[in-house]
Structure 1
Amino acid sequence: MAQTTLTRSTRARETTVAMKILMAVTGVIFVLFVLMHMYGNLKMFAGPEAYNGYAEHLREFGEPILPREGLLWILRVALFTSVVVHGYSAFSLWNRARKARGTPYVNKHPIATSYAVRTMRWGGVIILAFVVFHLLHFTTLHIEIGGDYQALSPYERMIVSFEFWWLWLAYLVVMVTLAFHVRHGVWSSLATFGANKKRRERAINLVAILAALLLVVGFMLPPTAILLDFIN
C-alpha cells in the first residue's frame, strides 16, 4: 500500500514537472512569435512600400515548396496550438494545486505579492480571446474596422483600424496584460529550468521586466503613431 502511494506521488510530481516544462516551452514559442510580429509592425515607420513588401514576402516565403501563405499558416497554427496547450497546462496545474489543498480555491490573503502572479489566469484568458480576435481582424478579415479590408493593402488596414481610439485602447489593455504575463512567465520559465539561482535573481528579474516593457512599447508605437496622425 505504501509502495502504491509512493508511486502515485512520484507520478504526480513527474506530471507536474512535465506540465511546467510544457508551459515554459509553449510560452517561449508564443513570445518568439510576438517578437517577430512586433518587428514586422515596426516597418510601418518605413512607409507603405516597406510594410506591404514585408507582408508579401511572408506570403510568398517557401514557394513553390509551400503554397502561398503556407509559412504564415504554419506559424498561425503553431501560435494558436501553443496558446491552447499553455492554457490547458496552466489550468491543470491550478486544478492539481487546488485538489492538493483539499479546500476550494479561495484565498483572501494571497501569498504572492506580485500583481502579475495574481492575474496570470485571467490574463491568459484575455490573451487567448485577443489572439482569436486578432486573427479574425487582420488575418481572415472577418472583422473589418474602418473600411473594406479586401480592397485595402496591409498598410492601409493598419491605418484605418487604429484611427479608432477605442481599438487603440483595447490593444493597450491587452499589451499591458501581456506584459504582466510575460514578466511572470519569464521568471517561471527560468525557475522551471533551474536558472533562477539566488545570485542571479536580480539580473533575471531585470530581464523579465525589460522583456515585458519591450513588448508594450514595441507593439504600441505604430498604433500610437497612427492615432496621433504621425503615420497616415
Structure 2
Amino acid sequence: MTDTKLSTDNRAIKTTVIIKQAMAVTGLFFVAFVILHAYGNLKVFLGEKDYNDYALALRTFLMPILPYEGLLWILRAVLLVCILVHVVAAFYLWHRSAKARGSRYMVKKSLATAYAARTVRWGGVILLFFILFHLGHFTLKWAKIGNPAAYGSHQVTLDAAGAVVPEGADSAVITVTEGYPYAMMYTTFSNWWMVLIYGIAVASLCLHIAHGVWSALQSVGWLRRNTEVPVQIISGLVGLAVLVMFLLPPVCFLAGLMPAPAPVA
C-alpha cells in the first residue's frame, strides 16, 4: 500500500515538474515574441512610409520559399499552441495548489507569494481578453476605433521575391491587399481612453513577464541561492523594458508628437 502511494506521489511530482517546464518554455517563447513585437512597434518613429514598409516586409518575408504572409501564419499557429499549453498548464497548477492548500507548508508558501501569484493569475486573464480584442482590432479590423478610413485597404503588386513592382510589370506575380498600419496606430491612440486600456493591458503584461521570467528560470533550474538576486533584477528589467517599448508609441501619438498620416480614401 505504501509503495503504491509513493509511486502515485512520484508520478504526480514528475507530472508537475514536466508541466512547470512546459509552462516555462512557452512563457519564454512569449517573452521573445513580445520583445520583437515591441521592437517592431518602435519603427513608427521612423515615419509612416518606413513603418508601413516594415509591416509589408513581415508579410513578404522569405518569399518565394514561404507564401505571402507565411511567416505570420506560422507565428500565429505556434502562438496558438503555446497559449493553449500555457493556459492548460496554469489551470492544472492552480488546481493542484488549491487542493494542497490545507497543509502548513502550502499556507506558509501562499502567504509568502500570494500577491505575486494573484497578480500573475489575474494579469493572465486580462491579457487573454486583451489579445482577443487586439486581434479583432488591428488584425481582423472588426473594431474600428477612430477614423474608419484608416482601416481601409489598397492593392499592391509584388514580384516573386516579395518586392513591390508597378502594376502590369513583367516581373509581377501577385497582387495583394494591404492596409494602412501607421494610420491605424495614429487614429487609435489619438483617443485617451484607448491609450488607458492599452496601458492597463501592457502593465499587466509586464508584471506577468517579470514574474514569469523569474518563475521560468526557476523551473528550468537556473535559480539558485547565489543567482536569486541577479535573476530578480533581470526579470524586473525585462518587464520594465517591455513596458517602456510598448507605451512610447501610444503616449507619443496621444501627446501629438507624431506626424499625421497621409490622407486615405
Tell me the residue number matched to 1:85.
85
How far apart, in 1, do the equivalents of 2:50 and 2:95 lie?
A: 47
Tell me the residue number matched to 1:44.
44
Secondary structure of the corresponding residue to residue 145 of structure 1 = coil
Tell me the residue number matched to 1:101.
101
How far apart, in 2, do the equivalents of 1:11 and 1:145 lie?
A: 51
Q: Give the CA deviation at 1:100.
A: 2.6
Tell me the residue number matched to 1:150.
152
Tell me the residue number matched to 1:75.
75
Give the 3 Å change call, closer, same or farther, for CA 113–22 of structure 1 in structure 2: closer
Secondary structure of the corresponding residue to residue 59 of structure 1 = helix
Tell me the residue number matched to 1:160.
187
Q: Give the CA deviation at 1:116.
A: 3.1
TM-score normalised per structure 1: 0.92
If each structure's helix is expressed as a fraction of its own residues, which one has the higher value?
A: 1
Spell out, residue by residue over 1:63-117, the C-alpha distance to the aligned partner (whole angstroms, 9 max, x if none): 22322111112112222322232111011011012223359xxx8x951257433
Tell me the residue number matched to 1:214.
241
Give the 3 Å change call, closer, same or farther, for CA 142–119 of structure 1 in structure 2: same
Tell me the residue number matched to 2:9.
9
With 74-83 and 25-34 compared, the bigger mean Cα shift is at: 74-83
How far apart, in 2, do the equivalents of 1:206 and 1:157 lie?
A: 36
Q: Give the CA deviation at 1:174.
A: 0.8
How far apart, in 1, do the equivalents of 2:138 and 2:12 lie?
A: 42
Which structure would you say has the larger Rg?
A: 2
TM-score normalised per structure 2: 0.81
Give the 3 Å change call, closer, same or farther, for CA 84–100 of structure 1 in structure 2: same
How far apart, in 2, do the equivalents of 1:69 and 1:144 lie?
A: 22
Letter in 1 for 2:244: V
Tell me the residue number matched to 1:65.
65
Aligned length: 228
RMSD: 1.8
Instruction: Judge conservation of contact 1:83–1:128 (CA < 8 Å) in 2.
Output: no
**% same residue:** 46
Secondary structure of the corresponding residue to residue 152 of structure 2 = helix
Residue ranges of structure 2 left out of the alignment (5+ in a row)? 154-178, 260-265
